[in-house]
Chain A
Amino acid sequence: MHELGITRNIVAIATEHANGYPVKRVTLEIGKLTAILPDSIRFCFDVCSQGTLLEGAKLEIIEIPGLAHCRQCQTEVSLEMPYGICHACGSSDLEIFQGEELKIKELEVEELCV
């Protein structure tokens, strides 16, 4: 259940950048090749955000599809797991270049206009 620790990090980073204003929305980018389950993050987020500036904030998760280059023939291969076989040459020597993201993309904070 590493999602709990990850979600605590998310809440901590977002709180730090919210400057004391309530947070309306948090947008995450999670690659499909990370060992992170978006549903678990969602579940943990409700718990972890209680009593913080993020309480009640909307959680958006953008899932990034996995992509790799074959090191043998340079073909681009799409992946569901962090390994696979090149459909062009059959090699399993793949270099993943997309799908391992795990970041907070942006926040929307609620500020008072003066």
Chain B
Amino acid sequence: MCVTCGCSDDANVTVTNPQTGEHTHVLADGTVISHSHHHEHHHNHSVATENAQLHAKMHGRTVTLEQNILAKNDLLAAQNRGWFKGRNILALNLVSSPGSGKTTLLARTIQDLKDKVAINVIEGDQATTNDADRIKATGCNVIQINTGAGCHLDAQMVEQGLQQLNPPLNSIVMIENVGNLVCPALFDLGESAKVAILSVTEGEDKPIKYPYMFRASQVMIINKIDLLPYVQFNVDRCIEYAHQVNPHLKIFQVSATTGTGLEAWYQWLGIRRVR
């Protein structure tokens, strides 16, 4: 018997939907339970075979786990967070769609703050070391993580990256996640903040299209504002959408190419770093 809803799964019970074997229950509090029962295993009770006798001695024991599926990642992320804290390192997780200008913004930031603070970078991409090469050209230390089939970085990858990167005390570590606005929202890396980057060549409604990511972020950077005269992108509406999803989101409008608006972003980095 199913301990959750009380339905029985004995061999003689008929299945609600013979195509999928799936059925749904709605409990009094609105909770929906949908599940399928497998009935491929038929018992032949008329002939008591050895197997059937053995099977009769089998019984189901329920093990209560209540375990968070991402517990392992969350634990490693907490360890990373402690590692950063002990070294007074500001770690930021940069997330965006592919092509928003993350790497350009990063290269520019490193270049402009070169004399003030050491910035080291962990680059996440499915393949190639192209981004790491671009960052390396600025003179900073960089580790490339290729996730292969994976669509996001996880805390373990970052932990391994950090061991090789060995960033100095009182510095900044920028983690450039795989270009993807869905999956990275779920995986804590141990960062101080997630920074979502959105460019004006994308849709202004991205914050409500990908609410999980914009809700999980503390900062949103609207990049490529130098292109505003050439594109249909309503900045005010974008900010409105973003605050609808996350009223506490800190928003910067910049152009990583021309340098417009970067000063405010650098100030924020400075304030976060001394904290």
Q: What is A's interface to B at a CB cutoff of 8 Å?
A: 1-2, 5-6, 9-10, 13-14, 17-18, 24-25, 27-28, 34-36, 38, 42, 56-65, 81-83, 85, 91-93, 102-114
Question: 10 shortest A-B CB distances, which residue pairs?
Answer: A60-B35, A2-B183, A83-B245, A35-B212, A108-B60, A107-B63, A63-B32, A93-B247, A106-B64, A104-B65
- Distance, CA A102 to CA B212, complexed state (A): 14
Query: Can you list 17 A-B contacts with CB-CB less than 8 angstroms, sorted by A residue number?
Result: A2-B151, A6-B70, A9-B72, A17-B63, A28-B69, A35-B186, A58-B35, A60-B33, A63-B32, A65-B30, A92-B245, A93-B248, A102-B69, A102-B70, A109-B60, A109-B63, A114-B57
Known: A60-B4, A107-B62. 6 other contacts (CB 8 A): A2-B182, A18-B63, A35-B183, A58-B38, A92-B247, A103-B67
- Across the interface, name the chain B residue whose C-beta is closest to A7: B69
Mask for B34-72, Cβ within 8 A of A = 1, else 0? 111110110000000000001001111111111111111
Instruction: Check if B152 sits within 8 Å of A105, measured CB to CB.
Output: no
Tell me whether B67 and A62 are in contact (CB under 8 A): no
Q: Please, which residues of chain B bring their CB within 8 A of the CB of A102? A: 68-70
- A-B pair count, CB < 8 Å, reads 133
8 Å CB interface, B62-116 against A: 62-72
Q: How far is the CA of A38 from the CA of B69 in the complex (A)?
A: 14
Which chain A residues lie closer than 8 Å to B32 at the CB level?
62-63
Q: Judging by beta carbons under 8 Å apart, are A105 and B66 in contact?
A: yes
In the complex, what residues of B have CB within 8 A of residue A27's CB?
A: 4
Known contacts A106-B62, A109-B61; is-contact A34 B186 (Cβ 8 Å): yes
Whether a CB of chain A sits under 8 angstroms from the CB of B31 is yes
Contact yes or no, A106 B36, CB < 8 A:
no
CA–CA, A5 to B153, complex, Å? 12
What's the Cα separation between A24 and B170 when bound, in Å?
A: 52
Q: Find out whether the CB atom of B66 lies under 8 angstroms from the CB atom of A25.
A: no
